Amino acid sequence: MKIAYLCDISPLETWGYSGGNSNMYRALCDQFDDVHILENSWGWAEPLRHLVNAMPEAITLRARWRLHLLFGPIIAKNVARQLARDKYDVLFCPYSFHSLAGLKLPYEMTTVYTSDATPTSYKRSSIGAAFGSYFSASRILDPLILRTEMRVFGAVSLALWPSKWMENSAKEFFAITAPQSQVVPWGANLPDKDIAYSGDDRPDMQKTVRLLLVGRDWFAKGGATSFAVLKALMEKGIPARLDVVGCMPPDEHRNENVKVHGLLSKSDPVEFQKFMDLYQNAHFMVMPSFESYGFAFCEASAFGLPSLCMDIGGVPVVDGVNGFAFPPEANVDAYVDCILEHRNDAKKYNALSKSARAYYEKHLNWGAWARSVKAKIIESRVGL
């Protein structure tokens, strides 16, 4: 089966879409013999694309896809020409719905789309509300964007969302349901072969409760609450520490028990080992973040590390399976009580840890994702 891979950022650029794009490409290559990356040139508007990509990230993230929609007819013709040069069975498009806008397929093929959120599902959710609008004037484009999403998603053969939240959003906003719209969870942002999972081999929680937060934005990842949980444990006389990877807490959210490790490169063997050690030696990931999915929760499960988070968006945390997702209005005591409950019952904690790892092995890895995607593609092509 021949797959055409289409995204506005090449999957060979490992930084794109927090690594999800590259992980999907590699996972599909493991399942299909021929996966061809389509070039994402904007044609004569290509200089504009380079200009946008050179802007600050906050602007690039918002401007790139909007301008892509604006120049969609030009860009789509380039995609159609590439498809016409060969005979593909499947067109796979992750993240960039705008890459499909206005595209006229030169022949019949199965089209597959996946993303953890869309512009409309994000903006009309509590996640979007929490961050507000960067370009307030862009709100006048919302009806046009919604109509475009409805056309694009209504036309794809399969819309494979990583979460039930996104599947429900697709039904609400785009009027697509099963079997066209289905849930296939994504994996961790780590190669499975590199994960050094060692079962129950963790430091004694009776000596020190170790908490972990991983992310680039302290406040967006719920860092203020994570710090409050740490303080509450300490005030109860419980020895505790909070390891922070990827961001710098402000001074008011730091004390001698907050250990900041900065950005750790997964391509550097020493830093990657430190990254894995932090996961393996933690007892809970405490990250009540606003996000539509969250690769870090998959990574935590890979190490048998239970996650404590907010029940918001499509976070891949199932109560009692790989952690607990608390209501957004839950206070710090809810997190602390959960930690103490498991600290005081080693068997209960170990069972939760093993359950988290089992959930990763069955659902939250890219191999499982790719096998499921392949099966659904084959099923959808019966009779073609």
CATH topology agreement for domains 2-187+365-380 and 192-362: yes
Number of helices (H) and strands (E) in the chain: give both, helices first: 14, 12
Q: 146: pLDDT confidence band, cut at 50, 70 and 90?
A: very high
| pLDDT tens by residue, 33-91 | 999 999 988 887 788 888 887 888 777 877 888 888 888 888 999 999 999 999 999 99
- Which amino acid is located at 234 in the chain? M
Architecture of domain 2-187+365-380: 3-Layer(aba) Sandwich (3.40)
Which pTM value belongs to this model?
Answer: 0.93
Pairwise CA distance, residues 85 & 83, whole Å: 5
Q: Is the predicted pLDDT of residue 342 greater than 70, yes or no?
A: yes
| Residue 135 CA neighbour count, 13 Å, CB half | 14
Q: Are 13 and 22 in contact (CB under 8 A)?
A: yes
Name the one residue in this structure whose structure tokens are 């896809």: 65
Pairwise CA distance, residues 19 & 12, whole Å: 10
Q: Is the predicted pLDDT of residue 378 greater than 60, yes or no?
A: yes
CB atoms within 10 A of CB 48: 14
- The encoded tokens of residue 56 equal 């600050």
Using DSSP, state whether 329 is helix, strand or coil. coil
Instruction: Label residue 286 left, alpha or beta by phi (over 0 means left) and psi (-120 to 50 means alpha).
Output: beta
- The encoded tokens of residue 54 equal 């050179």
Q: Are 314 and 114 in contact (CB under 8 A)?
A: no
- The encoded tokens of residue 364 equal 């939250």
Pairwise CA distance, residues 256 & 227, whole Å: 12
Which residues on neighbouring strands pair with residue 92, listed in sequence order?
Answer: 5, 112
Mean pLDDT of 163-189: 96
Q: Is the predicted pLDDT of residue 133 greater than 60, yes or no?
A: no
Supply the pLDDT for residue 382.
80
Mean pLDDT of 295-304: 96
Q: Are 79 and 99 in contact (CB under 8 A)?
A: yes
Q: 383: pLDDT confidence band, cut at 50, 70 and 90?
A: low
Mean pLDDT of 363-371: 97
**What share of the chain has pLDDT > 90, as a percent?**
78
Q: Which fold has domain 192-362?
A: Rossmann fold (3.40.50)
Q: Is the predicted pLDDT of residue 99 greater than 90, yes or no?
A: yes
| pLDDT tens by residue, 226-248 | 999 999 999 999 999 999 999 99
Query: Which residues are within 8 A (CB) of 291 and not within 5 positions of it... i.e. 6 or more apart?
Result: 127, 220, 312, 313, 315
Q: What is the DSSP letter of 93?
A: E
Q: Is the predicted pLDDT of residue 204 greater than 80, yes or no?
A: yes
Q: What mean pLDDT is reported for the chain?
A: 92
315 backbone dihedrals φ, ψ, rounded to 5°:
-55, 130
Mean pLDDT of 308-335: 97
- The encoded tokens of residue 184 equal 């296939």
Cα dist. 87→91, 348, 378 in Å?
Answer: 11, 54, 17
Using DSSP, state whether 201 is helix, strand or coil. coil
Helix or strand run (H / E) with residue 377: helix 366-380
Domain ranges of the chain: 2-187+365-380, 192-362
Q: 134: pLDDT confidence band, cut at 50, 70 and 90?
A: very low
Q: Are 301 and 307 in contact (CB under 8 A)?
A: yes
Q: Are 102 and 120 in contact (CB under 8 A)?
A: no
267 backbone dihedrals φ, ψ, rounded to 5°:
-90, -10
Q: Are 161 and 181 in contact (CB under 8 A)?
A: yes
User: Among the listed ranges 24-28, 131-135, 174-178, which one has the minimum average pLDDT value?
Assistant: 131-135
Pairwise CA distance, residues 266 & 264, whole Å: 6
Highest mean pLDDT among 47-61, 142-156, 367-381: 367-381
**What share of the chain has pLDDT > 70, as a percent?**
97
Q: Are 130 and 177 in contact (CB under 8 A)?
A: no
Q: Are 183 and 309 in contact (CB under 8 A)?
A: no
CB atoms within 10 A of CB 198: 10
Supply the pLDDT for residue 303.
95
Helix or strand run (H / E) with residue 321: none
What is the rounded radius of gyration, in angstroms, for the C-alpha atoms of the chain? 22
Supply the pLDDT for residue 285.
98
| pLDDT tens by residue, 205-214 | 999 999 999 9
238 backbone dihedrals φ, ψ, rounded to 5°:
-95, 120
Q: Is the predicted pLDDT of residue 138 greater than 80, yes or no?
A: no
Supply the pLDDT for residue 384.
64
Supply the pLDDT for residue 194.
75
Q: 199: pLDDT confidence band, cut at 50, 70 and 90?
A: confident
Pairwise CA distance, residues 340 & 332, whole Å: 12
